[in-house]
Structure 1
Amino acid sequence: MRILIADDHPFTLMGTKAFVESLGYKVEDVCSNGITAFNLISSHQPAVAILDINMPGMDGLEVLEKVYRLKLLTRVILLTMHKEMTIFRKANQWGVAGYILKENAQEELQKCIEIVKKGGQYISKNLENDLVIDTHSGSQNYPIERLTFTEKKVLELIAQQKTSKQIADMLFISEKTVEGHRTSIIQKLELPKEKNILLIWATRYFK
């Protein structure tokens, strides 16, 4: 069984690779950003892809969504530090095969791979207690769930009054990409085209 692993932290990437190989599996590809991960999944079609959620270029959820929409056969396991219910729901919506918190990975990854390769779904046994209910999930804030993980991160940084250049540097993307995210966020949240509208909205939302 061929496996791909993607994580933007080198030590986590190589540590996960070594662990998976110690279980007897063949790790065919490793990479550190979502765009490369998706391209490798498309071309090599590994049986399983183990992805970090927070990656430059394209986040793990976006890769998962593309795999789901294109009906690719690769099954996706997400390794993440994020415990927000909204992120888990979105992953489940896009057919995630495995969802594990990084803090539990050493105990659970082996069992997860075994279940996933048999066609099952594995959700971390600790997840039910660890998932954080989104305190902003009231009906008036529902549009926030339309945003991708990266767009939410951009919005959080806007709330911290970071400039597009600072956001680009922090997320390892270009300023042009940040501006594209800004435009997309405004459209998805159906905000009026007013000066500093994103800063005003984000500051209220993340207060």
Structure 2
Amino acid sequence: MISVLIADDHAFIRAGVEAVLRGSRYFIVATASNGAEALVAIEEHDPTLVILDLRMPNMDGLATLQELRNRGDQRPVILLTADLNDQIFLALIKAGANGVMLKDGAEERLITCLDAVHDGQHWIEPELVGRAMSLTADGLPAGPLSTLAPREQEVARLVGEGMRNSEIAEALGISEGTVKVHLHSIYHKLDIRSRTGLAIIVNSANS
């Protein structure tokens, strides 16, 4: 069984998520009604996955995610929201969200999202990916990929094609450890925290 924490200021949503997960390999180990409570509960219960509502009192989902990452906590985090503007979406990607899901119809896709994120992938609503591809990454310099070294650009391109680290290593004739070093440098230069953010930038640059 895989432990999940859900933070949402609406008890109805928390109960709904728990109902969707009932009978699956996931179980709710703790709940919270705001980001501040979520941080305390994460420390206490150490869930494998975290689901955060984007809009909550006393620390919203974005601020909670940012605080977790600032603490060095890299556990998978999924943001759940009723709506999302472009700037907040890009901020979530840069902050290192592993999944972004719209509440409308989430009961049909939540398990799929959790499975993907638990397996080390990133999951974002298809319509949100389409929106992001049409955006200029706010806060990034024009032509951000031009700041990367040639090998880093190759790694970034292959990430944009959806390749895993092992596949990139084989394609470029380098070790998987070297791929990780390049990715760390790329994330630092572009001020992002995830493969999803990198893939969006790469594909936006090529669109």
- For the aligned pair, the TM-score class normalised by the smaller chain equals 0.5 to 0.7
Rounded Cα–Cα distance in structure 2 between residues aligned with 1:73 and 1:86: 23
What is the CA distance between 1:127 and its match in structure 2? Answer: 1.9
Structure 2 CA distance for partners of 1:128 and 1:73, relative to 1, 3 Å: closer
Partner residue, 1:187: none
Paired positions, count: 138
Report if aligned partners of 2:18, 2:27 keep a CA contact under 8 Å in 1: no
Q: Quote the Cα distance in structure 2 between the aligned partners of 1:76 and 1:83.
A: 17
Partner-residue secondary structure (3-state), 2:83: coil
Amino acid of the structure 2 residue aligned with 1:127: L
Deviations along 1:163-187, one digit per CA (max 9) or x if unpaired, are xxxxxxxxxxxxxxxxxxxxxxxxx
- The Cα offsets for residues 138-158 of structure 1, whole Å up to 9 and x where unpaired, read as xxxxxxxxxxxxxxxxxxxxx
Tell me if structure 1 keeps the 8 A contact 2:101–2:125: yes
Q: Which residue of 1 aligns with 2:16?
A: 15
Aligned-partner Cα distance in 1 for 2:27–2:111: 14
What is the match of residue 38 of structure 1? 39
Q: Is the 8 A contact 1:78 1:96 kept in 2?
A: yes
Partner of 1:118: 119
Deviation at 1:129, TM superposition (A): 5.0
1:92 has 2:104 as partner:
no
Partner in structure 2 of residue 141 of structure 1: none
Q: Report whether the alignment pairs 1:104 with 2:105.
A: yes
Map 1:65-84 → 2, pairs under 5 A: 65-84=66-85
TM-score (norm 1): 0.60
Q: CA 1:128–1:38 in structure 2 vs 1: closer, same or farther (change >3 Å)?
A: same
Q: What is the aligned-residue identity percentage? A: 34
- Secondary structure at 1:103 match in 2: coil
CA distance in 2, matches of 1:90, 1:101: 16
8 Å Cα contact 1:2/1:47 also seen in 2: yes
Tell me the distance in 2 between the aligned counterparts of 1:67 and 1:21.
27
CA distance in 2 between counterparts of 1:35 and 1:19 reads 25
TM-score by length of 2: 0.60
State how far apart, in whole Å, the 1-side matches of 2:30 and 2:94 are. 26
- Residues 115, 121 of structure 1: 8 Å contact kept: yes
Could you tell me which amino acid in structure 2 is paired with residue 115 of structure 1? Answer: A
Deviation of 1:73 after TM superposition, in Å, equals 3.7
Distance 2:78 2:69 in 1: 13
Alignment partners' CA distance in 2, 1:75 and 1:32: 19
Is this contact kept in 2: 1:81–1:103, CA < 8 A?
yes
Equivalent residues of 1:35, 1:58 under 8 A apart: yes
Q: Secondary structure of the equivalent of 1:14? A: helix
* More deviation, 32-41/122-131: 122-131
Displacement after TM superposition at 1:21 (Å): 2.5
Partner of 2:181: none
The Cα RMSD (Å) is 2.5
